[in-house]
A and B are shown apart, each in its own frame.
Chain A
Amino acid sequence: DSGVTQTPKHLITATGQRVTLRCSPRSGDLSVYWYQQSLDQGLQFLIQYYNGEERAKGNILERFSAQQFPDLHSELNLSSLELGDSALYFCASSVASQPYEQYFGPGTRLTVT
């Protein structure tokens, strides 16, 4: 158990819909990262938040957005969903002194039908 929790574990929704994925980092970790794992692209970095502020963006679509709240939990919002958005979405967290040793949650499997 990494200490990072993600909800829900599975999500099935239709094209055009909007969903919210939730992540609670390990206690004390200020950084939260979101990654998408699809069959053809592998694990791709989407976005990073540090102590409530956006710190870096990777390959995140404009239809996707995220935020980190004062209690440090984070939400990833996916809108106007397309079939190609079906993937595993992982959240990870880290301490400031070791940003690359990231602790991953179990992931949310999103299926868009």
Chain B
Amino acid sequence: DQQVKQNSPSLSVQEGRISILNCDYTNSMFDYFLWYKKYPAEGPTFLISISSIKDKNEDGRFTVFLNKSAKHLSLHIVPSQPGDSAVYFCAASERAGGGADGLTFGKGTHLIIQP
């Protein structure tokens, strides 16, 4: 059973516009969420995170929004650039779970930035 779901396998956005990637989760014990970015032939790279006590976290062009009641988070990239073309993974963890720091990942969304 997928506890973290990214329902869009791919997303195409024009350069300069906003990219919005979505993620839903089912485990109400998750209290820390992250986005990772992955290029082909490389490992995932940490992008941005958010704790469940916040509803927004911003870092440059990247903003993550968390809606706990809807168990939904999204990543906004503004403006989108060609180098943003990659697979984006949503991940979650139960920080209060004690001991286990392994992340639960979604299956990823392939973002394609069109020139």
Contact = CB atoms under 8 A, between A and B. Distances in A.
Nearest to B48: A101
Contacts of B43: 2, 4, 90, 92, 104-107
Given A106-B41, A107-B43, A48 B100 contact: yes
A11 to B, nearest CB: 15
Contact of A48 (B101, B104, B106): B101
A7 interface: no
A33 B103 CA distance: 9
Q: Is the interface of A mostly helix, strand, loop or mixed?
A: strand
Band of interface residues on B: 20 to 34
Nearest to B105: A43
Contacts of B25: none
Interface string A9-24: 0000000000000000
19 contacts: A2-B45, A43-B103, A43-B105, A45-B102, A48-B100, A48-B102, A56-B100, A56-B101, A100-B32, A100-B93, A100-B101, A100-B103, A101-B46, A103-B46, A104-B43, A105-B43, A106-B41, A106-B42, A107-B43
Interface of A: 2, 4, 31, 33, 35, 42-48, 55-56, 58, 90, 92, 94, 99-107
Interface of B: 32, 34, 36, 41-46, 49, 89, 91, 93, 95, 99-108
